[in-house]
Amino acid sequence: MFFCVLLFLINTHAIFAKSNGYAPVKVKCPGGKLGRSASPGLNENEIAYMQSRYPIAKKNLADYLHSAMLYDFEVNSFLDRASPTIGIAFSGGGYRALLTGAGEYAALDARTHILQGTGLGGILQSSSYISGLSGGAWLVGSVVSNDLISIDELIHNNTLWQTTNSILNYFGDNIVDQLLMWIDIGEQVRAKQEAGFSISITDVWGRALSYQFLTNKKDYGAEYRFSDVMNETNFRNYYAPFPILLAVGRVPDTTVINLNSTVFSFTPFEVGSESPYLNSFVETGSIGTLLDNGYPQNSTCIKGFDNAGFFMGTSSSLFNAIILSIDNTTLPEFLKDFINGYILDPIVKSNIDVAKYNPNPFYQSQGPQTPIKASKTLYLVDGGEDGQNIPLEPILKRNVSVVFAFDNSADIDGLPDGTSMVKTYERQFSVAGVNTPFPYVPDQNSFLKLNLTSRPTFFGCNASNLTALTPNVFDVPLIIYIANKPYSFASNTSTFKLLYSMSNRNSMITNGFEIASMLNGALDEEWKACVGCAIIRREQEKMGLEQTEQCRLCFERYCWNGTIHEEKPLNYACS
Ligand SMILES: *[C@@H]1O[C@H](CO)[C@@H](O)[C@H](O)[C@H]1NC(C)=O
Ligand SMILES: *[C@@H]1O[C@H](CO)[C@@H](O)[C@H](O)[C@H]1NC(C)=O
Ligand SMILES: *[C@@H]1O[C@H](CO)[C@@H](O)[C@H](O)[C@H]1NC(C)=O
Ligand SMILES: *[C@@H]1O[C@H](CO)[C@@H](O)[C@H](O)[C@H]1NC(C)=O
Ligand SMILES: *[C@@H]1O[C@H](CO)[C@@H](O)[C@H](O)[C@H]1NC(C)=O
Ligand SMILES: *[C@@H]1O[C@H](CO)[C@@H](O)[C@H](O)[C@H]1NC(C)=O
Ligand SMILES: *[C@@H]1O[C@H](CO)[C@@H](O)[C@H](O)[C@H]1NC(C)=O
Ligand SMILES: *[C@@H]1O[C@H](CO)[C@@H](O)[C@H](O)[C@H]1NC(C)=O
Ligand SMILES: *[C@@H]1O[C@H](CO)[C@@H](O)[C@H](O)[C@H]1NC(C)=O
Ligand SMILES: *[C@@H]1O[C@H](CO)[C@@H](O)[C@H](O)[C@H]1NC(C)=O
């Protein structure tokens, strides 16, 4: 009986199920060029945003530095002459990276209510950029789509981040709603296909993710676009750092590595890559429009392709394969057939991680021809697939003074060993990494043996030591590298763990807070001051200013000093 009612419900729903605005639509073109070469520099809307944003960020930075207990340092007179800029980067790593990252974000947020001790509150408000990749893109995508929500607010919000049920089983025991979720997703994805766009598992994955991360948006974010982020109140008022999500280009049946990957940035204004292999961007809100040398072919343009969940899904496409594990008896016919198409065809299955962007906005665009430009479809994969799991590339292109590199990768026993930093360091010596200087870092073994992952470590402390890497040494940021570490909770959980009890969710977040705040300042009362010393250092160097004694001692504690760990050779001679 129950089953019959269920079937009836589902059939009725299926008839009336709506595509809820997921499918892109045709609109009159906004006019002008929609694509551009990356060569002249940054997007003009981004520059305009920063011009309004920076004075606010700088005022907040003054507040931070005033509260940081920097001795013998005149904040106001310094900031009258200097303009330090800050970027924050959240690595991939599934829910582990999302939740640990959330605690780290909270530690930087002036709105976080702290009972005792001190975090690094105010850094978020002082920052120019915030980037995320894969699990880090869920964090950044979710908070910016929800008006830069604070983690305090999010924890008490009873709709967002309800992690007790897996992403694939959002409604849990509520079987009917769960069935309806897949019916809606099926209809939405089908409508996109019927509107003439290629679809991939990433569409299904991105829609499923949106139930967790865009919960408050109409129809779970079915029509919420990444270009809508700039319309959130905190962005309209320039209170928020500028968001960037990352993905990597991968034509099917090819491999990507850090040395030749085409790293794509997704901002609310544009999508594209500064990589010399592409060197082009297109307007985010018009992506999906067929372009000819940057101009639309006629007066009809596409709107709505830039669904925020689809972008988060693209950045985390490593997880596409888990869609194949959904119990297919609960899926509507359309999705069942679509997914079976992947299961049955080994070639399709081996490229299951690709997100299809068709038409390819960069098809036959100017410059040297590459596989990406030669393809009518643009294929993008998880931002971490080239081994650079911390989303640093686009921030390095923006010449900030300092970057917080939050590494929640699983390199060894579910914890980082510096691999992502090594990959980004190496990249600068390849064609793809030209003009992307990055400070010296040691090998992974040294990261572990010298305890560079077990407490925050600064890299590139001394710009004068970087002259062999670039003539523009002051444009290379100082990196504040902060690796995941279990303090109050075993935070080295598996990347593919997709469900956390609410109490474990909150414990992961608390542990993330402890990592970034050094146990709320308990491990070093001067941690907040030392971070201040790092933020001001490049600008001091530019002006030829010496560090204060306090900052010099901070740098002795936190800077990597250039040594590496040499394994003692084993002596077999006598055996
Ligand atoms: C949860 O957060 C969203 C986005 O900020 C907000 O619209 C909603 O009202 C919040 N819900 C609760 C119960 O606080
Ligand atoms: C921007 O937000 C305002 C108020 O929240 C709303 O009235 C307006 O329609 C939005 N504009 C766009 C382009 O979404
Ligand atoms: C990148 O390098 C890898 C390893 O050398 C190679 O297999 C791949 O074909 C290269 N990809 C491109 C696009 O050059
Ligand atoms: C505009 O160009 C698109 C893409 O080439 C095409 O599908 C559409 O039919 C054209 N519309 C008009 C009015 O010519
Ligand atoms: C359901 O999935 C199983 C396992 O992947 C597969 O063998 C079977 O053919 C699928 N059934 C349908 C009806 O698609
Ligand atoms: C960053 O610095 C380099 C070298 O000084 C310069 O060529 C480039 O235009 C700068 N980029 C931005 C976004 O300021
Ligand atoms: C987490 O660390 C513990 C202790 O080192 C280890 O036993 C466990 O396997 C690790 N978990 C993962 C998922 O790697
Ligand atoms: C790293 O930390 C461990 C444990 O605290 C300590 O025993 C060891 O001496 C440290 N190594 C270095 C090089 O500081
Ligand atoms: C910075 O690097 C330069 C060049 O390697 C070196 O001469 C100088 O002593 C270094 N300064 C500090 C404080 O380590
Ligand atoms: C300083 O530069 C040299 C190369 O000139 C490099 O080997 C060393 O690791 C650098 N030191 C630091 C602390 O970055």
Ligand 10 centroid–CA 442 distance in Å is 9
How close is the Cα of 220 to the center of ligand 1, in Å?
13
Q: What pLDDT score was predicted for residue 135?
A: 98
E strands present in 392-463? 402-407, 457-459
Task: Say if ligand 9 is within 6 A of residue 464 CB.
Answer: yes
| Pair 320, 201: CB distance under 8 Å | yes
What letters, b where the CB count within 10 A reaches 16 and e where it falls short, cover 409-421?
Answer: bbbeebbbbbbbb
Query: What distance in Å separates the CA atoms of residue 33 and residue 251, rounded to the nearest whole number?
Result: 26
Residue 133 to residue 41: CA distance in whole angstroms: 23
- What is the atom index within ligand 5 of the atom nearest the CA of 328? 1
* Residue 272 CA to ligand 1 centre (angstroms): 32
The rounded Cα 122 to chain-centroid distance in angstroms is 20
Count of C-beta atoms within a 10 Å radius of residue 8: 10
Q: Is the CB of 253 under 6 A from ligand 3?
A: no
For Cα atoms 546, 108, 136, give the angle at the middle one, nearest 5 degrees: 115
Q: Which residues of 227-246 are buried (b: 16+ CB within 10 A; e: fewer)?
A: bbbbebebbeebbbbbbbbb
Report the distance separating Cα 429 and Cα 426, nearest Å: 6
Pocket of ligand 8, candidates 445, 446, 450, 451: which has the most ligand atoms within 8 Å of its Cβ, to mutate?
451
Q: What is the pLDDT of residue 448?
A: 98
What pLDDT score was predicted for residue 3?
Answer: 53
Instruction: Please state the φ and ψ torsions of residue 480, each to the nearest 5 degrees.
Output: -95, 100
- On whether the CB atoms of residues 92 and 389 are closer than 8 A, the answer is yes
CA 258 / ligand 3 centre spacing (Å): 10
CA of residue 145 to ligand 2 center, whole Å: 13
pLDDT at position 572 is: 53
pLDDT, one tens digit for every residue, the chain (575 residues)? 455 555 555 555 555 556 679 999 999 998 899 999 999 899 999 999 999 999 999 999 999 999 999 999 999 999 999 999 999 999 999 999 999 999 999 999 999 998 777 899 999 999 999 999 999 999 999 999 999 999 999 999 999 999 999 999 999 999 999 999 999 999 999 999 999 999 999 999 999 999 999 999 999 999 999 999 999 999 999 999 999 999 999 988 888 999 999 999 999 999 999 999 899 999 999 999 999 888 999 999 999 999 999 999 999 999 999 999 898 888 999 999 999 999 999 888 889 999 999 999 999 888 778 889 999 999 999 999 999 999 999 999 999 999 999 999 999 999 999 999 999 999 999 999 999 999 999 999 999 999 999 999 999 999 999 999 999 999 999 999 999 999 999 999 999 999 999 999 999 999 999 999 999 999 999 999 999 999 999 999 999 999 999 999 999 999 999 999 987 655 554 43
Q: What is the SS3 assignment for 461-505?
A: CCHHHHCCCCCCHHHCCEEEEEECCCCCCCCCCCCCCCCCCHHHH
C-alpha to C-alpha distance for 404 and 234, rounded to whole angstroms: 22
Backbone angles phi, psi at 88, to 5 degrees: -130, 130
Residues 6 or more apart whose CB falls under 8 angstroms from that of 58 comprise 79, 83, 126
Which is the closest atom of ligand 7 to the Cα of 490?
A: 1
Backbone angles phi, psi at 25, to 5 degrees: -125, 160
Dihedral over alpha carbons 154, 157, 160, 163 (to 10 degrees): 90
Give the per-residue pLDDT at 568. 63
pLDDT on residue 16: 56
pLDDT (0 to 100) of residue 575: 38
pTM beyond 0.85: the answer is yes
Q: How far apart are CA 94 and CA 187, in angstroms?
A: 27
